[in-house]
Structure 1
Amino acid sequence: MSQPGRRASLRACQPVLASLVLSALLSFQGALAAPGGAVQAARYHEDALARLARDDVSGAIVQARNAVQQDKGLLAAHLLLGKALLRDGQAAAAEAEFEIAQRLGASMAELAQPYGTALMMFGNSEKLLARIKPDGLAASARAEVLAMRAAAYADQGDVKAAWRAIDEGKAADPRSLAPLRAEIDLALRTRDLPRARKALDAAVAMAPRDAQLLHLQGVMQQGAGKVAVALDYFAQALKVDPRLLDTMVARASLLIDLQRPDEAMPDLERAAAISQREPRVAYLKSLVFAARGDTRASRAQLEEVTRLVDALPDTFIARQPPLLMLGGLASQATGRLERARALLELYVLRMPDDPAGRKLLAGIYLSSGETARVADLLDPLLRSGEADPQVLTTLAALRMQQRRYRDAAEALERAARITGNDPGITAQMGFARLAGQQADLGLLALRSAFDKEPAQFKVAAALVTLYLRRNDVLSATTVAETLLRRLPGDAAAHNLLGAVKAAAHRPAEARSAYLKALALQPALVPARLNLARLDGAEGRLDEARQRLATLLKEEPGNGQALTEMARLETHAGRPAAALPLLEKAQALMPGDAASGLELLEVHRRLGQPGAALALAKQLERVRPDDPVVLEALGRAHMAVGEGVQARAAFAKLARMAGPDPRYLVAIGQLQLSAGAANDAGASAEKALAAKPGYLPAQVLQVEAEILAGNLPRAEALQRQLAARGSGADALRLAGDLALARQRAGEAMRHYQAAFDKAPSTALALRGFNAAFQAGEGERGVALLEGWSRRQPDAMPVQAALAEGYLRLGRLKEARSAYQALLGRDPHNAAATNNLAQVLMRLNDPGALAMAEKAVRLAPDDPNALDTLGWLQARSGALDLGLKTLREARLRAPESRELRYHLAWVLHRSGKRDEARSELAAAFGNQGDFESQAEAQTLRRELGV
């Protein structure tokens, strides 16, 4: 019941609403008399909304801030505040509010356009590309986002990606101007004037009096040398929008070029009044004053340029060649040569073919006595072939800091050749190759260095890790034993051998190695942690706890010990107790994979997908090539419905995979779960190439063909499996094929036959789902009841069984099932929310308290918020209900049921226009809509 569309219908509760209202008001006065701050916050938000609608931007900002001050978790107020700040030109402050809204769970459909606009106002293209995605958005919003992404790609220098984004935007919404504007801009940047004109013509045909398009027509005419026509277009643009700053600047610049500086000044004064943070205006004013002979006023304007440029974020300036040039010119003119040099070096990097930038920079270098003609003084030495090993290793260290790992490796390779393959330099080269995603070359270099000097512990540890990742236990053991022979008295070497033995599933030998390490060095933390892990794996939980407690008493800030203690809590079924331990570990060790992955699992168990995704992204930034982190990132994307990003993570994982057929099939199953049929099929083929006839890979092949819709091919492969006597697998796939052909009854029979051959939870659940699709829900419930008696600890079965009772209207049994489920998993937010709905339908006054608990467990879950808001509103607390439902709607605007609930509450709150809008959206969206009859009644009341 946690997915949209599996919610219990509320129609059945209409006859009992009156008694529910009464009992709720009598029994839950404390809950309904919610904190005054929450009610006041909701009122402030409504007032801010009304003020913004009538263009009282400053008033809207004040009231939205009041709302946030009263209730810091009020998502709607943060989003509204961001929009008001953006309209006021406060991009950085708006960005901060949008990020708070995103953390609170705002749907990207609501957030994408304003958040993207705020980011691009300061040219934050990297952040925009990372955070603003078009997936799942409506056509118009998708087109807007793709246009913004095109501009961001262009800022990054990826012109091909920019063109692709523009084409996708035009296809998403052919009526949108945003992709056409982006196309014009990019065509002008790339000097593709025919394409720019064509795009401009198309845009003008759609909106002939659009001010920005009139401005662009003026720019095009100016570029063609038609100065008078350009000035006329600029005048038309300003007539439509007198506040269009780019047009004022363009016209003033053109007038100065035409030696008419006094005519330019009115535009510059108006532009300065609109934006006091515009360096172009200050620079042009300096030219006007210089033309008048007023050197003091001209210098003052140049100093203003430097102040304004310096105030901008460096990441923004670095991508804006005009700003780099303006800042460089103004800094040079005012005697700030170091700043001028820094800006112009960046300019030359961005515009290497512009002779003006090179001349200015050469002059600055000459005046300061510097003879180097490029920013990186070591590059000429590298190209000359005369660099010695010290220069090369220094250059390599610089390149590593710049994350130019392959350049670093090439420098070290040259240094290694000069020194006769010095093992230390060769090892550095190996690490650089690994950092540059050249795993095979890195492994070869490290092995070469180790073979030449086996006493290098760091190299040995890296080799052991690499070999174990490839399941090459034999090579890992060889390295660890070789190291130990060279360092027999080294405790760390014994500990490394113990880790290899543990990975080889030889716990007794691992324990012996760890104890030897501790005999040599009793305080060695890695060996103590490894022993605790081994104790836990062997079920010696008390011994593990004692070891860790002793270690934490000695070292309270030991993040690894905190992580291991948290694992014990999780293993004992106490994820809430593990959470603070892991959060502390991550604070101590930001980006640590072990504690991070454990924390991801705890977030999953506690129903916190947003927090899990944020953490997975953080881990991936630190460990972009760690397969475990990539898998976790893909799963986290799937948990919040971001299929495209999940598929990308799994595709990268597949590219990194070696020829291990089991691992390839496991990746293929992940790709299937993310809807990447072709990728899953490719993984299956790769596994079969490594091991022909491998049954799990053949099964994966059929599953991939079914997902791709290639049913004839899937049937042929399934028949081959059946002919080979693959039994339950072939029968289960026959059921999947029948289900794909919408023959649920036939699918149920195949699943039952497969279950009879090889009973399993997965088959029981498949049969249950097929039974409900075939209209035989009772049969599906009976199947699960029988399997539940045999597997009473199978939690997915218990959850499905509870849902089955609810779908069949067997409410008392559903209540018992959910209560039993929560008795074993009290932090199951979905089950808590479903129980709240069951109680509501049973007219049980405990419904409201249960809904409140569901929201405490999953404060970002729109289903839980919807249930709580609906109960609050129908119980008479309209202000609270409205606040809660607004929060839910921002997280799941596609839910028709939710929007009907919000429309109902808005109507009862006297907000009829907004209610009409929400109800229209409820009837316009696609998806399940169980309260359609009640919504039709409301529709007639509102006249929608």
Structure 2
Amino acid sequence: MNKGLMLSLVLFATSIQSYAIESVNHYEMALRAYSEQKTEEAFIHLKNALQTDPSHLPSKLLLAKVYFDNGLIDAAEKEMEDALKLGADINLVLPILGNSLILQKKVDELLTYEDQYYNLSDEGKFEWHLLRGQAYIIQQDSERAAFEFKEAHQLFPNDSRANNTLATLYIRTDFLEQANTLITQALAANSNDEKAWLLAGELALKQADNQQALKSFEQAHALSPEDPKILRSLTMQYLTMELFDKASITNQQVIKQSPQDPTANLIKAWLLTKDGKQEEAKLVLAEISQHLSLLDPEKMLYERNTTMLQGIAELMQGNLKNSQALLLKHIEQSSGDPNALLLLVKTYIETGEQSKALALLEDKKRTVVKNANLGIILIQLYFQEDNLFRAEQTLQDLKSNFPENPEMELIQARLYLLKDQPEMALNAINSIKVASPNLSHQLLKAKILLKNREPEQAAKISTQLLEQYPDNVDVMNLQAAVLLTSEEFDASKKLLDTILKRAPDNISAIFNQSLIAEHQGDLEQAKKELQKIINKIPNHRQSLLKMSELAVKSGDLKQAKTLINKLLAYFPDNTAAKQKLIALYMMERNWPDALMEISRLIQNDRLNPALLIQQANIYAQMRRFDSASSNYRLVYELWIDSPNQLLQLATQQVKSRDYQGATKSLNKVLELEPDSINAKLALARLALTEGKIKQSEDILASLPANKRQTSDYFELKGDIAIANKTLPKAVTDYLHSIKLNNLQQSAFSKLYLLTVKGIGYQDFIEISENTLNDNPDFYSCRKLLADAYLNHQDWKNAEKHYSQLLNVKQFSHSSVILNNLAYIYSQTDLTKAYKTAMEGLENGGNKNPSLLDTLGWILVKQDKLNDGLNYLRQAYVLDSKNPETRYHLAYTLVKLDRISEAKDHLAIAVKSNRYPEYQDAINLLKQLD
């Protein structure tokens, strides 16, 4: 190595170590603060660590947790996505990232990680099943959700922590019976389990049993008086039940633990305001603002909640204009905080400023459609203007994001009604399952019944509502409409006059007045009433439609056409779908919207095989395999006479796990082409995939002798031997496959995996060396050969082949190969090993967990414990499943006298014996015990 390169490496290593020391120090302090629930302190250390080293993965992961714990879901998502791009281990990223996506209803983004399932540890798989179950709930598929939760439970059936996690999720997703079972079992096993009592309280809240919730929270508090989550839950329950004195006591305990906690101090301010102590409340809020400005000058942790808190305080005191100004400022600063948006919109509506509310919501549309409450308010404002086109667009967005929300079907029913589709409206509202429909629900149902010419049923509802709400204008309008339908015009007009005296601009009352005039034959008066509405709302659909009807009655067909064209301009036909839009949705993996649009296309082209397969692929991506199979059955009938197309169909069916359908397709191919080797091999592979080993063997045995001498045939035989656990036979078959095609990469890989299990090592070495003699550029084979030598501690030959790969351009800076060489050198020369590892680090190895582990371990062996710990931690966050890294971490932590954390890593390290230091890990754990 020349002097210049040596100097560069030294300088690089020095700078890396300098930054590493500063970053790791801040991280370790942040970790300690976080464990002590000192969120703000942890946040400061983490920001300092990342300022020093923006790619310090342990800090990014912990920062994401801090954001998530503080409700900054999108910030947590961003940090975790950045961590993944930097190479963080999916097992460490998934819990926070997955839950962030679920909370934001980003199901499609979540499902993009489906292909990582087999890279997950058992704990990661447990988390994935929980996340996928929640995704199914969002997609209104409770049966599959229950299956996923059951799968999670079977991974850790007797682990109390896992069961509590699952119970929490059951409560959140309304699987209350299952939650109750787990909680009951937990308390039966340990009646002093405070976490189970906390869950019991949360379950009681879901069941609207406030007394039982209070009892459970108080029991949890008695068992663990200092637990912050229990204290917060108990405080909120006291507030709910208006036990303000008790709420003040427990809230003060929260403040004692976390003096600057914004929520706790806001509760304190609210309690002070309730007691008439506005000045003290303002002082509390001022103290919060001052603390946040000093502690968090860039407003990154609390997202400018200082302004938000002040806005809420002004609202509490009835200062609406001041509140609006503060909330608007906060919204602009925080890129559309949905909570602040909701508060501000409500204040606008309360002060009669609907136009401001509408403009604000439209300006923040991307935020609005991700929040059910905001979206519903926006649609209601569109309804007031009768802008059905935009209302429908917004509703489609909301239904995609909140498919399980019954309020969406209520809005859909109202939209159908406004679009003159009363039967669909009635079906929609009848599909809503609620124990006791609220006023708006009953009003809408009565209106729909009137449209469906069921006045008697509507009258029953209106009479009952009028008794309950005698002064409600909407109820009075409903009763007037019922009377009008029954042709009781005088009674109806009298009621409408009463309404218009109270509310002269009431649109419904004016419209009903026009209907009465029409029924009485006074078309000009009817038009005058409608014109009043159109003057106020030019695109009022019902009025324009009724005006066109009146124009027809008056014989003015030209005017009627003008009015209809005006209607079409406002409300164009939006049922047609666009294939390019579907393709875009699929590129974005936006499966729900893609499915929605392609389903509309298929309605107009039901026998298009390409569309049906495309829809089936979307179904499969959404794990709706039954729906995919249904499509494939139809395509099968369309392609029943085409062997090539049926082979194509079978491939798609296997990908979608429609094994029965794939079998049928392949059998049909053989019926059309009895000698199709491709179909027979595909059938044999399919049988093996389904675990039907004997059937797979029989299919291969049925092949003519002259069709068996192919590499694919013998590779499949090797796969069958693996399934039969006759590993020596598998070695023979894979060798035969390679001899027929010595570039059969998959057969080489499978043979190598057998050497890892201690089978066929010499055979693999021999055929690989021979293959490389003939094909020296078969680099993937050389890499497998070097790995095999390394695994068997043949350092000399391993070094030889790794070194040859370094001479190839595409591998010349491979951190993987440099890591393996560093590991080899570490057996005899730690200095050379360190230099090689650092070279790997310089060439992108900061994302290679094995290299970081090797480098860290080398430093530990050199007694540079803190430096080694830094690299070992980085290795861990990239690959938490590696037991060797866990052992190395534990060993180092023991040396640093951090026994408790060391034990946690050792507990995992001893679960696998597939690494050289396994016995060392066992001995160390025994020593610590």
Deviations 1:291-315 (A, max 9, x none): x9x9996524898699779968999
- Determine the C-alpha separation between the residues in 1 that align with 2:679 and 2:769: 32
Is contact 2:595-2:615 (8 Å) kept? no
The residue matched to 2:763 in structure 1 has which SS? Answer: helix
Counterpart AA for 1:689: K
Of stretches 359-368 and 891-900 in structure 1, the one that deviates more from structure 2 is 359-368
Provide the identity percentage: 19
The answer (yes or no) to whether the contact 1:702–1:717 under 8 Å persists in 2 is yes
What TM-score results when the alignment is normalised by the length of structure 1? 0.58
Q: Which runs of 5+ in 1 are unaligned?
A: 1-23, 407-430, 448-465, 471-623, 635-643
**2:879 corresponds to which of 881, 888, 892:** 892
> Separation in 2 of the partners of 1:55 and 1:295?
31
Does residue 906 of structure 2 align to residue 919 of structure 1? Answer: yes
Deviation string for 1:468-501 (max 9, x for gaps)? Answer: x99xxxxxxxxxxxxxxxxxxxxxxxxxxxxxxx
Cα distance in 1 for residues equivalent to 2:803 and 2:47: 41
The 3 A distance-change label for structure 1 pair 701 and 938 is: same
- Residue equivalent to 1:333: 350
Three-state SS of the structure 2 residue aligned to 1:793 is coil
Q: After the TM superposition, which of the residue ranges 129-138 and 879-888 deviates more from structure 2?
A: 129-138
Equivalent positions of 1:404-803 (< 5 A) are 435-436=597-598, 678=657, 683=662, 685-690=664-669, 692=673, 693-722=675-704, 725-728=707-710, 729-756=712-739, 760-762=743-745, 763=747, 775-803=759-787
Aligned to 1:61: 43
User: Structure 2 residue aligned with 1:76, among 58, 62, 66?
Assistant: 58
What's the counterpart of residue 806 of structure 2?
A: 822
Alpha-carbon distance in structure 1 between the residues aligned to 2:850 and 2:623? 23
Partner of residue 870 from structure 1, selected from 857, 867, 871: 857
Q: d(CA) in 2 for partners of 1:795 and 1:390?
A: 70
Task: Please give the TM-score of this superposition, normalised by the length of structure 2.
Answer: 0.59
1:565 aligns to what?
none
What SS does the corresponding residue of 1:778 show, helix, strand or coil?
helix
CA distance in 2, matches of 1:186, 1:73: 36
Decide whether the 8 Å contact of 2:789 with 2:797 is kept in 1.
Answer: yes
| SS at structure 2 position matched to 1:436 | helix
Distance in 2 between the 1:844 and 1:263 partners? Answer: 64
Q: Could you say what secondary structure the match of 1:721 adopts?
A: coil
**What number of residue pairs does the alignment pair up?**
694
Q: Where does 1:135-150 land on structure 2 (aligned, <5 Å)?
A: none
Q: CA deviation at 1:928?
A: 1.7
Matched residues in 2 for 1:367 and 1:147: separation?
Answer: 54
Q: Superposition pairs for residues 56-455 of structure 1, below 5 Å? A: 56-87=38-69, 93-115=75-97, 154=137, 159-160=142-143, 162-174=145-157, 175=160, 176-187=163-174, 201-202=184-185, 204-205=187-188, 208=191, 236=219, 240=225, 244-255=231-242, 276=262, 299-300=318-319, 331-338=348-355, 343=374, 345=377, 351=407, 352=410, 355-356=438-439, 395=571, 435-436=597-598
Answer yes or no: is the 8 Å Cα contact 1:399–1:405 preserved in 2: no
d(CA) in 2 for partners of 1:873, 1:60: 27
Matched, 1:37 2:22: no
RMSD, aligned α-carbons: 6.1
- Alpha-carbon separation, structure 1, partners of 2:43 and 2:247: 35
Please tell me the residue identity of whatever aligns with 1:917: D
Distance of aligned partners of 1:312 and 1:87 in 2 relative to their CA distance in 1, 3 Å threshold: same
- CA shift at 1:783, angstroms? 1.5
In structure 1, what is the equivalent of residue 482 of structure 2?
none
- Cα distance in 1 for partners of 2:891, 2:314 equals 67
Matches within 5 A, 1:4-43: 29-30=10-11, 32-35=13-16, 36-43=18-25
Q: Given residue 819 of structure 1, which amino acid in structure 2 is its aligned partner?
A: S
C-alpha change, 1:357 and 1:722, in structure 2 (3 Å) is same
Distance 1:111 1:160, change over 3 A: same
1:799-848 deviation line (CA, Å, top 9, x unaligned): 23333443454433333322322323434543343333344446485543
Given the superposition, is the C-alpha separation of residues 768 and 104 from structure 1 closer, same or farther in structure 2, using an over 3 Å criterion? closer
Report the Cα distance in structure 2 between the residues aligned to 1:853 and 1:683, rounded to whole angstroms. Answer: 51
- Other structure's SS at 2:708 match: coil
Residue pair 1:815, 1:835 contacting (<8 A) in 2 also? yes
What secondary structure does 1:182 align onto? helix
Matched residue SS, 1:788: helix
How far residue 276 of structure 1 moved from its aligned partner, in angstroms, is 4.6
Q: Distance in 2 between matches of 1:811 and 1:894?
A: 26
Find the counterpart in structure 1 of residue 428 from structure 2: none
Amino acid at match of 2:820: N
The more displaced of 723-732 and 217-226 is 217-226
Q: 1:40 to 1:262 in 2, by over 3 A?
A: closer
- Structure 2 alignment gaps of length 5 or more: 279-312, 362-373, 381-394, 396-404, 411-431, 444-471, 478-499, 512-532, 550-560, 583-592
> Judging changes above 3 Å, is the alpha-carbon distance between structure 1 residues 928 and 657 closer, same or farther for their aligned structure 2 residues?
farther
1:331-357 alpha-carbon deviations (Å, 9 max, x no partner): 543444457787453697752375445
Residue 75 of structure 1 and its aligned partner are, at CA, apart by 0.5
Q: Distance in 1 between matches of 2:730 and 2:608?
A: 54
- Opposite residue 33 of structure 1, the aligned amino acid is T
- Counterparts in 2 of 1:769 and 1:813: CA distance versus 1, 3 Å: same
Q: 1:119 to 1:747 in 2, by over 3 A?
A: closer
Q: CA deviation at 1:73?
A: 1.0
Q: Check 1:284–1:777 CA distance in 2 against 1; reply closer, same or farther (3 A cut).
A: same
User: Distance between the aligned counterparts of 2:104 and 2:265, measured in 1?
Assistant: 14
1:848 correspondence with 2:804 = no
Please say if residues 761 and 794 of structure 1, whose CA atoms lie closer than 8 Å, have aligned partners that are also in contact: no
Query: If you compute each CA radius of gyration, which structure gives the higher value, 1 or 2?
Result: 2
Give the deviation of 1:187 after TM superposition: 3.6
Q: Which residue of 1 aligns with 2:915?
A: 929
Q: Which amino acid aligns with 1:790?
A: D
Q: CA deviation at 1:719?
A: 0.7
Cα contact 1:234–1:251 (8 A) shared by 2? no
Per-residue CA distance 1:564-598 (angstroms, 9 max, x = gap): xxxxxxxxxxxxxxxxxxxxxxxxxxxxxxxxxxx
Provide the rounded CA distance (Å) in 2 between the counterparts of 1:901 and 1:305: 57
Displacement after TM superposition at 1:889 (Å) = 0.9
Change (3 A) 1:298 1:934: closer
The range that moved more, 926-935 or 762-771, is 762-771
**Contact 2:87–2:847 (CA<8 Å) still a contact in 1?**
yes
Is the CA contact 2:734–2:750 (under 8 Å) kept in the aligned structure 1? yes
Instruction: Indicate how the Cα distance of structure 1 residues 112 and 225 shifts in structure 2: closer, same or farther if over 3 A, else same.
Output: closer
Give, in whole Å, the separation in 1 of the partners of 2:902 and 2:356.
57
